[in-house]
């Protein structure tokens, strides 16, 4: 509510120029609005929103099952974790916890992987560098990222949600062969 | 009285601050909060857990 309300009938018919600008802005707004879902499909930038509820214990069981089945070694450096080469036809599980990405993954180029992400404790951020993919990893929920690596090399997974004093040491690894 | 009747819809709407306040609270509550809660409550459990 204004301190001084306009007196009388303050409403004036819209001027022609204002109408033109209003219509142009409206058209552009609608174009932008409808382009968002179109970009989802043609731009291949937005991850799909497939997600489930899952307890930390259940998710941990799935991670350990996959590690047991597909472990080929350990990273040996950083946070020494198992190195796993999963089957592209099976779901891949990646666990976030203070302050570790577990396990390290070896993926094959041009194969599509369904990577399940969940957190054991609190909110973490899944960020693949240097390609800059960002997703939130939320405790109690499983978020599925469909990832198809197109270039070989070593990639780092950084946590990009502050998660405590060891946040900066929370670095994981993805190798693409 | 005739002024009141001739008043355009836009002026009537913008003069009604309480209606604007109600719309401003109800609309985001429904679209963000309620819709978000419905999504979370209806999220299924991970099917591959035995």
A62 interfaces chain B, CB cutoff of 8 Å: yes
Say whether B28 sits in a helix, a strand or coil. Answer: helix
Instruction: Work out the average pLDDT over A10-17.
Output: 82
Query: Above pLDDT 90, what percent of chain B?
Result: 54
> Does residue B37 lie in a domain region?
yes
Whats the size of chain B, residue-wise? Answer: 50
| Predicted pLDDT at B14 | 83
DSSP character string of A9-73 = ----PPPHHHHHHHHHHHHHHHHHHHHHHHHHHHT--SPP--EEE--HHHHHHHHHHHHHHHEEE
| pTM of the predicted protein model | 0.75
Instruction: Work out the average pLDDT over B2-14.
Output: 73
| Predicted pLDDT at A64 | 93
> Does residue B26 lie in a domain region?
yes
Residues of B with CB under 8 A from a CB of A: 3, 7-8, 10-11, 17, 43-49
**Which one of B7, B8, B44 has the shortest CB-CB distance to A52?**
B44
Structural domain span for residue B13: 2-41
> Does residue B49 lie in a domain region?
no
The nearest CA of chain A is from the CA of B42 a distance in Å of: 10
Instruction: Work out the average pLDDT over B44-50.
Output: 85
Paired tokens of A165: 């004093």
**Which one of A1, A10, A142 has the shortest CB-CB distance to B46?**
A142
Return the residue of B nearest to A53 by Cα: B45
Domain map (residue ranges) of chain A: 51-176
pLDDT bin (cut points 50, 70, 90) of residue B1 is very low
- pLDDT tens sequence across A99-139: 899 899 999 999 999 999 999 999 999 999 888 788 899 99
Contact A9 B44 (CB under 8 A): no
| Predicted pLDDT at A78 | 60
> Does residue B33 lie in a domain region?
yes
Q: pLDDT higher for A41 or B32?
A: B32
Paired tokens of A173: 């690894």
Contacts of A114 (CB under 8 A, 6+ apart): A91, A92, A144, A145, A146
B16: chain A residues, CB-CB within 8 Å: none
Return the residue of A nearest to B47 by Cα: A52
User: Which fold, A51-176?
Assistant: Immunoglobulin-like (2.60.40)
**Which one of B17, B45, B48 has the shortest CB-CB distance to A91?**
B48
Tally DSSP H helices, then E strands, for chain B. 4, 0
pLDDT bin (cut points 50, 70, 90) of residue A47 is low
Q: Where are the alpha helices (DSSP H) in A108-151?
A: none
Look at residue A24 and tell me whether its pLDDT is greater than 50.
yes
| Predicted pLDDT at A75 | 79
Q: Do A127 and A133 form a contact (C-beta atoms < 8 A)? A: yes
Instruction: Work out the average pLDDT over A77-101.
Output: 88
The nearest CA of chain B is from the CA of A78 a distance in Å of: 31
Whats the size of chain A, residue-wise? Answer: 177
Distance between CA atoms of residues B10 and A13, nearest Å: 11
Look at residue B2 and tell me whether its pLDDT is greater than 60.
no
* Distances from the Cα of A43 to the Cα of A34, A50, A51, A146, A152, angstroms: 14, 18, 21, 15, 22
Return the residue of A nearest to B8 by Cα: A11
Task: Compute the count of residue pairs across chains A and B with CB atoms less than 8 Å apart.
Answer: 33
Contact B46 A9 (CB under 8 A): no
Return the residue of A nearest to B48 by Cα: A62
| Predicted pLDDT at A14 | 80
Total structural domains within chain B: 1
């Amino acid at each position: 509510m204004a301190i001084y309300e306009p007196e009388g009938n303050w409403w004036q018919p819209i001027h022609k120029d204002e109408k033109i600008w209003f219509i142009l802005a409206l058209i552009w707004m609608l174009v932008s609005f409808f382009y968002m879902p179109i970009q989802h499909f043609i731009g291949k930038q937005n991850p799909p929103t497939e997600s489930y509820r899952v307890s930390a214990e259940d998710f941990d069981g799935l991670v350990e099952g996959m590690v047991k089945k597909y472990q080929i070694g350990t990273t040996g450096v950083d946070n020494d974790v198992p190195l796993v080469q999963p089957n592209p036809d099976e779901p891949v599980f990646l666990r976030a916890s203070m302050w570790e990405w577990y396990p390290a993954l070896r993926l094959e180029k041009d194969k599509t992987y369904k990577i399940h992400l969940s957190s054991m404790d609190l909110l973490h951020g899944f960020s693949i560098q240097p390609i800059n993919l960002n997703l939130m990893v939320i405790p109690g929920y499983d978020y599925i990222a469909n990832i198809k690596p197109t270039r070989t090399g070593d990639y780092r997974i950084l946590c990009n949600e502050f998660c405590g004093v060891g946040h900066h040491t929370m670095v994981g690894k993805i190798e693409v062969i | 009285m005739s002024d009141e009747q001739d008043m355009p819809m836009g002026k009537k709407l913008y003069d009604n601050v309480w209606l604007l306040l109600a719309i401003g609270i109800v609309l985001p509550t429904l679209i963000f909060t309620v819709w978000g809660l419905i999504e979370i409550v209806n999220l299924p459990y991970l099917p591959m857990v035995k």
